[in-house]
Every structure is written in structure tokens, then in C-alpha cells.
Structure 1
Amino acid sequence: MKTIECMATIEQSWNTDAYAANGRFVATMALAVVDLLAPKSGERILDVGCGDGALTEQIAASGAHVKGADLSPTMLAAAKKRGLDVEQHSADTLPYRNEFDAVFSNAALHWLSEDRHPAALAAIHRSLKPGGRFIAEMGGQGNIAAIRSALSAVFAPYGIDTEEAAASFYPAPAIYRRLLENAGFTVDSIELIPRPTPLPGGMAAWLETFRNGVLDRLPVEDRARVLDQTVRLLEPILRDGDGNWVADYVRLRFKARA
């Protein structure tokens, strides 16, 4: 079994082909949060956690001048192929100051561990012009609860804490409102939205795409068996009689002003 020191260096990684096949719903189901952004021609907008740029491209179609920021080199390469203006930055190290009319983020902020959110929100606040708006959607309290519980149970015999390994943050509205306000934002709206999400590639493909950083902590010879055990544990909960998988997503959507 891998040592704790080795396992601690493993992080979630992104394969653009796998993401396009198994995670395109991230962009296609984001119409409501884009509507909340209401981009306007000529505005400067920063897309934090832009990924492969599929949603960034939609925002740019409004005539807004959009810059994308992401930490993944593979995702940035895919975004650049779309002709988008993107730079490599983590949300908590954004270098911008008073540059943008709006900051947008979809399905990205929950990948930061809880302790990094104060710095991320401070950096986003600095990036905005006075009065600029911050519109985002991320995983909220209860997000993928069944999947996380199954992973915790199956990985426990290996001494792996999957919650710690994933290092994701799915806050309640009151918690995140407080973080936003502490960073200097005025919160116009914030709500939890249950959003059952069909998984076109099935649960195994979702786990390989969105939890590879956790799976990679396993010994190679055990990975397929553990993946199969997790899928079988989730079948009675998230798979219907026709074989369709639906993940138990819960989103936190908010609009705030600098």
C-alpha cells in the first residue's frame, strides 16, 4: 500500500477527452447561472476555473471581453484551441486588480479546500472594479452525498480518508454568505439548488473523471476492484431500472457585489 507521504502528493487531474465525454453536462446545465450573470457587450468578465472554455466561449458570444483563468495546463490548452484568452492561475492567487466588470465561476470553486476560500474570495474581490458583480455556482451542502458516502465506505479498509483526499468544499448558504461578506462582498442572493444530474457515461466513468485523484491513491492492483465495489454500492440509489445513472448533485448559486 502507498505511504502517506506519497499519497499526499496525488491531486485531481483532468483529461480533456474524458471530461468532454463524461463531464460536458457541467457547461450544458449552467444556463441559469449564465442568465444570472447576464453578460453585456463590451464588458470585461473573468471566468475563474474556466476549464476547457466551453462555457467561456458561450459568455464571449454576448460580445463581452472574457478572460479565463484555470490551473490545469491540459484544460487551458483546450481553451486556447477555441481561440480564448486564458491564463494559468489558481483562484486564490489571481493577480488582477480592479480590472473586471464581473467575475464568473461555474463548478470550480468547490475544488478548493475550505481553508483556501478566504484568499480566493479576497483575490476575486480585488479583481473587480468597485461595484462589480460576482456570480458563481459550485457544489453546496449535500452535494454528491451518496457518492461520497460510498467512497468513504469502500476506501476505509485501505486507510484512505476520501473526504480529505478529495479536499472539496460544499458549504451551506449561511457559511458561504459569511465568507463572501468577510471578503467585502454584498450578497444579493444565495441558495441551494438540488439538481439530479444524468451521467451519460455511467458511474464508473464519472468516478474515473471526477475522482481520479482519490482512485490514484490505491495500489494499482486494487483499483478496478474498488471501483467496481463503489459502483455496486451506488446502484440501488442512483441507477434506475433502465440502467440510467443520475448523480445527486446539489448546487450553491449566488450573486454578490464588490
Structure 2
Amino acid sequence: MYFSNKSICATMYTLTVKATVEQMKSINQWQAEEYDNQLAFVSEYGKDLISWLRPAEGESILDLGCGTGDLTHEISRSGAEVSGMDASPDMLQQARRKFPELKFWEADGQQFETEQLYDAVYSNAALHWMRNPRKVVDCVWHALKPGGRFVVEFGGQGNVQIIVQALEDVLNRHTNINASERNPWYFPTIGQYSSILEERGFVVRQAYHYDRPTKLADGDRGIIDWLTHFGGDYFRGFSLEQIEEWCMEISQIVSPKLNKNGVIYADYKRLRMLAFKPKVE
């Protein structure tokens, strides 16, 4: 039997989509092993943010939205006493397995209380999942010592706009939902987030909004992995067959726009900020 190169590629593409989509067990449930294996770039990029944190030996630091703990561990190498907090039991189980010497605990970043006060709260690639930023900032305020610092990086205005636009266009075309109403993310401007911090009493010392094109996995799998790991809210209530078809369509739309010399780069835009809780006079 004869197969053309085109038909072989199409078959492999379909199998890739099917295998990846089947990892999407349920909405908003992170799969820690797949996250570590396929999306390790999240932690790798977050290491640079530690230079803004400047952890010191003996300091107490909270890693807010710690995921599987890689950056919590990286911060601990400074000699600081670090604990990690996340809302995902699966991610925390993986973190505890990898770093049993560190403390990890489960809580929602929009409504948590701490038993101790921290010298710093650090957060990488987590706050854009928290749609009530005022509650987050309020919780962080209460968790910090006077003079404590809040060091964050997360998606800023325009983050993954090309992917999100294609995703919503495809769903709007094939379904009767308003796809934009399922958008789970909060991507503010510098001004928007600075205002929230300042209204709570923080002093914003540094703020930086920048483009950070992010390399995805080779071939078609890069966009598909991204969609199935991060876009689950959009696909709620639809069959695997529908999701497979739509992921292929979205990938075909965005890949030419995000292709640079044969490599796919997601159109990430990040917001990085450093703010202080004033010392008591």
C-alpha cells in the first residue's frame, strides 16, 4: 500500500492531537508530570525574576503559585526559608516528591491567610490565573512584614493575543457560545496593576512590560500542547473529537503567524513588578 508524505504527516498530526487532548482530564486540573515534561520553560524563564527578589540567608519567603516547586527550590539555595503555596493538589504532590525538604501548602491565592509574616512574597506565571487581583493583593499585604517586598511576573496586556484570538474565533464559528466569556486570564497593563497595588498601600519601585517570545515544542505539537494545558476552560462541555478538530484548526491558523525560521514562538508579553509594603513609622 502506498502512502504519500502528505498523508503520513496528516495521520501523525491527528494522532498527536488525540494523544495530547486525552491528557485533558478535566477543566482547571493541572497534570504535574506533563507540565514538568512539556512546559519546563515556565520555570526556566522564572529564574531570571529571582534577580529582582534578591533572596538573602535567613529571610522568610513565600512562593505564591509555586507549581511543581522548581523555583521554590531555586530560591532556597540562597539560604532563605522558603515555602510554596499553590491551589493544585497534583502540582503540590509533585513538588513534595521532588523537594521533600521544603514546605508546600494548598491554598487559593485570592483568599489565603498565613500563620507567619514574610520578608517577601514571590510569584511567577501565576497571577494571570487569578481574576480578582484586589483580593490577591490584599492577601499578600497581610502576609508581608512591614518593609516586605512583593516580586511578581505574569502575563501582561496583549499576552498570547494571537493564540487567544484564533481560539475564540474558531469556537465562535463552530459553536453557539460566546468564547470570550470563557477566557480564564487576567492580563493587565502596568497602570492597571500599579493602581491596585498603590490603592492597598504598596509603593511600586519597578514595573516592566515586555515582549518575551517563548519557544514551543517542535512541529504542530507545540500549539496543541499549549492549548490542551492552558485552554481547558474554553473546551468545557465539548467532546474529544470536537476538541481535536478545533485544536488542529487553531494550530493551522496561528503557526504561520508565530513561525520564525521554522520554530514556533508563542506571543508572550510579561508584566514584572517590584513593590514594597511601607515600614511602620
TM-score with structure 2 length normalisation?
A: 0.84
1:202 deviates by 1.1
**Structure 2 matches for 1:70-109, cutoff 5 A?**
70-81=86-97, 82-83=99-100, 84-96=102-114, 99-109=117-127
Whether the aligned pair in 1 keeps the contact of 2:57 and 2:80 (CA below 8 Å) is: yes
- The C-alpha deviation readout for 1:2-42, integer Å capped at 9, x for no partner, is xxxxxxxx742211122112211011012321100011111
Which position in structure 2 is the counterpart of 1:174?
Answer: 191
Using the alignment, how far apart are the partners of 1:164 and 1:11 within structure 2?
Answer: 15
**Structure 2 matches for 1:30-41, cutoff 5 A?**
30-41=46-57
> Does the alignment pair 1:161 with 2:181?
no
Which position in structure 2 is the counterpart of 1:62?
Answer: 78
Whether the aligned pair in 1 keeps the contact of 2:33 and 2:94 (CA below 8 Å) is: no
Question: Of 152, 165, 170, which residue of structure 2 is paired with 1:136?
Answer: 152
Instruction: Specify the SS of the correspondent of 1:234.
Output: helix
Whether the aligned pair in 1 keeps the contact of 2:30 and 2:88 (CA below 8 Å) is: yes
> Does the alignment pair 1:224 with 2:241?
no
Using the alignment, how far apart are the partners of 2:179 and 2:272 within structure 1?
Answer: 25
> Deviation above 4 Å: which 4+ runs of structure 1?
none
**Which stretch has the larger CA shift, 152-161 or 186-195?**
152-161
Whether the aligned pair in 1 keeps the contact of 2:183 and 2:233 (CA below 8 Å) is: yes
Using the alignment, how far apart are the partners of 1:159 and 1:64 within structure 2?
Answer: 51
**Which stretch has the larger CA shift, 64-73 or 92-101?**
92-101
Q: Name which one, 1 or 2, has greater alpha-carbon Rg.
A: 2
**Structure 2 matches for 1:106-255, cutoff 5 A?**
106-113=124-131, 116-157=132-173, 158-200=175-217, 202-242=222-262, 244-255=263-274
**Paired residue type of 1:204:** I
Using the alignment, how far apart are the partners of 2:229 and 2:135 within structure 1?
Answer: 27
Whether the aligned pair in 2 keeps the contact of 1:22 and 1:206 (CA below 8 Å) is: no
Instruction: Specify the SS of the correspondent of 1:41.
Output: coil
Whether the aligned pair in 2 keeps the contact of 1:103 and 1:133 (CA below 8 Å) is: yes
Unaligned runs of 5+ in 1: 1-9
Compute the RMSD of aligned alpha carbons: 1.5
Using the alignment, how far apart are the partners of 1:50 and 1:18 within structure 2?
Answer: 16
Q: Percent identity over the alignment?
A: 34
Unaligned runs of 5+ in 2: 1-25
1:236 deviates by 1.3
